[in-house]
Every structure is written in C-alpha cells, then in structure tokens.
Chain A
Amino acid sequence: MKKLKFRADITTVTVVVFIVCIVLVSVMLMQFRTVEQTDITEIETMRESELRALLSDWKTRYEDVAKQLEDTNKRIEEYNKTIEDNEAAADLIDDELTESNILVGKTDVYGEGVEVTLSDGDYSDVNASHLIDLVNELRYAGAEAISINGIRILAMTDIVEMDSYILISLQRVQGPYVVKAIGDKDYMSTILQLKGSGFVDITSDINVSLAIKNRVEIPKYNGELEIEYMQEVVSE
C-alpha cells in the first residue's frame, strides 16, 4: 500500500517535472529570442510609450540639426550678400568708368544734336576763330560731345591756324567743316540762331548751314590721353 502510493507519487512528480521543464524552457527560449532579436526589430516590438520616448529623443535631435542648418543657411546668405555687395561695387565702378570714358571722349557716342556746316564764303575763308567761336558757343548751349570733320573735340583739344591751314590737335583739316554736337537739339539750335548773338545769325562772311538731327554720331578721340604733369591732390 505504502509502496503503491509512493509509485503514484513518483509518476505525479514526473509529470509535474515534465510540465515544469516544458514551461520553463519554452519561456526561456522565447525570452532569449526576444532579447536577441530586439536590436534588429527594435521598433516593431516596442510599445507606444517607448516609441514616444524615442520619438521625442529624435525630435530633439532633429531640432538641433534644424537649428544648425538654419545657422549654416544664415551664414551662406551672409556670404552671398557680401558677394553681391562686391558685385554691386564692381558694377558701380564699371558704370563710373563707362561714364568717365564717355565724358572724356574715349568712346564712340551718338544722340540727338545739331550739325553745323561751315564753308568758305565768296570773300573770306573759314578760319580758326570761327571754329573756336562755334565750339565755344556749342559748349555754352550744353553740348556734351563735339567733333569737327570727324575729330573729337576734347577739353585739351587745340584749334590753331598756321599759314592759312587750320590744325585741330595738330591734324590738318579742310573745308567744308562739319561740326557735330550732341546735346539738346532744340536748345542748341535756338542758341545758335539767336538774333544778334547766335553764331548762325552773326556770321555772315562765310556760309553756315544748320541741321537739326535726331541721331548724330561722334567718333572717339583717336590719340592717347596722357597725364604727364598733373597729380591728384589727396585731401585727408
């Protein structure tokens, strides 16, 4: 009886141990697999709260990176601005140079203006003082560029008469003398034709013809402009 009971006990123990082993080993293996694969499928096996924590972490990191990006963009913008400023300065200098060249007479120019043609009269020839007077009057009338027979008249240009030849910048010119001027055509023509003082009106010994033109072309100065003596006064 006692022995039988013991045997029954032993089978129960065996069955219980069997079940316990199954449960323990299966659960342990599950746990091992979970722990092992967690690295790979971390996000898939995570719960909402963990994902939320991770999300906030990434958000912070994202914000940091965004801030950095903004800083970098700002710096790039600054650089661009500097470059633009430099370009603007270069453009300004370029414009100034072009303007200076135009003013000085280093470029071919065109614009509205007048064309005055002088030719020898029946009793007297055209002389240098006629041309000088005309140029002077044109300048008074606001001419921006003047040429005589294709020779640009600059601030330094001399008009002289030697042995009945007229020399402009040491180049001999012959009649008829075509004086072109760019400026306000109406104003210039009015000034030239003023009764009693205008060049056209008071000059009667030679033939003068005035033409008002919408487009007058004046060539650039052919020679070289050299500065030999003068220097800029640097005021501080």
Chain B
Amino acid sequence: MIFIAIVLGCIVGALIGVNMPMISYTYSGYLAIAIIAALDSVFGGIASTLKKNFDLKIFVSGFFGNAILSILLTYLGQKLNVDIYLAAIVVFVGRMFNNLAIIRRYYIDKWTEKRQKSKKVEVKETTKK
C-alpha cells in the first residue's frame, strides 16, 4: 500500500515538475536548500520507521517546517551577507548521512542474522544426518 503510494506520488510529482514553469535562477538556491531539508526529513522518517518510533506529526512538520525554515534562514543570510545556507547544508547533509548509516546498519544486521540462521539450519541438518 505505502509502496504503491510512493510510486504513484513519484510519477504524479514528475508530471507536475515537468510541466511547472521555470523559476528564476536566484530562487533556485532557496529551492535547493528546501530540497535538502526535505530529503533529510525523508531519510529521518525512514530511519525512525526502522527504529519503530515513526511519528507522522513529527515527519510532516519536519518535512515542511525544515524546508520553509531553511529557505527563511537562507534569505536572512543573504540579507545579512552571511552564507547561512552553508550551515543548513552541513546540518542537513550530516543528518542525512547519520540516518543513512542507521538504515545501512539495520539492513546489514538483518542480512547477517539471516545468514547465521540459515547456517544454523544447515548445521542442524548436517548433524541430523
């Protein structure tokens, strides 16, 4: 069910994205930060799902809130002549790596467990014989 939603959402999003008008090059910087923030939220959501402490409210508020906040901060940074978006990128990408590491470890653990189980089964079968 969720996978179907993801695939459908991606397709519809792609269609909308292709047909959307071009945005100014200046604003593309803000959009890039927003995308990074959103991606961070998505990986965070996946990681929390695997940890079994996924909260929809946190996910949604993080997804939109971080994006908007990062845009606002970037705007403020431009007004102050400070590259705040660099800090945002560092934080978001750092968190993304963290979350990716959690996801990776989870699946590696799962995989090794599986192998050990099958090995045990094999050992049991051989001892039976």
Contact = CB atoms under 8 A, between A and B. Distances in A.
A26 B63 CA distance: 15
A21 B5 CA distance: 8
Given A24-B35, A29-B18, A18 B25 contact: no
Contact of A17 (B9, B23, B24): B9
A26 B20 contact: yes
B68 to A, nearest CB: 12
Contacts of B94: none
Contacts of B26: 46-47, 49-50
Interface in A4-59: 9-10, 12-31, 33-35, 37-38, 41-42, 45-47, 49-50
B22 interface: yes
Interface in B56-100: 56, 59-60, 63
A112 B8 CA distance: 115
A27 B38 contact: yes
Interface residues of A, number: 34
Contacts of B20: 26, 29-30
A16 to B, nearest CB: 6
B22 A21 contact: no
A26 B38 CA distance: 12
Given A24-B42, A25-B13, A16 B56 contact: yes
Interface string A51-86: 000000000000000000000000000000000000
A31 B32 contact: yes
Nearest to A22: B13
Contacts, number: 104
Q: Which of A12, A17, A41, A46 is the most central at the interface, judged by chain B CB atoms within 10 Å of its CB?
A: A17
Nearest to A48: B26
A35 B28 contact: yes
B10 interface: yes
Given A18-B8, A27-B31, A38 B13 contact: no
Contacts of B8: 18, 21
Interface in B28-50: 28, 31-32, 34-35, 38-39, 42
A18 B13 CA distance: 9
A38 B25 contact: yes
Q: Which of B14, B17, B39 is the most central at the interface, judged by chain A CB atoms within 10 Å of its CB?
A: B17
Given A17-B2, A21-B6, A23-B38, 17 more contacts: A12-B56, A14-B2, A17-B5, A18-B5, A21-B13, A22-B16, A24-B35, A24-B39, A25-B9, A28-B17, A29-B13, A29-B18, A31-B31, A45-B24, A46-B25, A47-B24, A50-B25
14 contacts: A12-B56, A17-B5, A17-B6, A20-B38, A20-B60, A21-B9, A21-B10, A24-B13, A30-B17, A30-B31, A34-B22, A37-B22, A38-B25, A41-B22
Interface of A: 9-10, 12-31, 33-35, 37-38, 41-42, 45-47, 49-50
